[in-house]
Amino acid sequence: MIKKFVVELDKKTTALAFVVAGTALTVASLCGIYQVVTRFLFNNPSDWSEVLTRVMLIWMVYMGTAVAIRQGALVSVDLMYRLSKGRWKIFVESFITIACLLLLAIMVWQGISIAWRIRFQIIAGLDISMAWAYLAIPVGALFSMIAVIAHFFDPVRHELETAQ
């Protein structure tokens, strides 16, 4: 019951994270092109495009992490995992899942703390709170936590090399 709920929730959140990460990459690319054109072609650099590019890259990375986790594309302890069997394999998977969840929980906690403390600082050129950039940390970590749990229940592994 919980397994099915988590896997279904993960399908939706990972799809959303993929769209957000892809959109952020697109916006960052377009802003980067715009910045280069205005700076070097027209000798009149914009004051907002470089900053927006950085903010979009931050969101792309943190949202893309959830997608990478779900696909099993992050660095893992391959040797230990491949050599383990039976209960030891379950222990290894559980330990890795718990360690990831602890790290991501710290990221959520600290990300919210940082975003709250800097909510009154304004990003020059964009005239928005700097908290919007820092919110990528807890939001991405929450999405990643769902992906970690779903990966534990329904593992997907895309290894670069095949196991012998």
What pLDDT was estimated at residue 77? 63
- pTM (two decimals): 0.86
**pLDDT tens track for 115-126:** 999 999 999 888
| Average pLDDT across the chain, whole number | 90
Stretch 119-145: mean pLDDT: 94
End-to-end CA separation in angstroms for the chain: 35
* Range list of H helices, the chain: 2-36, 49-70, 78-83, 86-117, 131-134, 136-153
**pLDDT tens track for 54-103:** 999 999 999 999 999 988 776 666 677 777 888 988 888 898 899 999 99
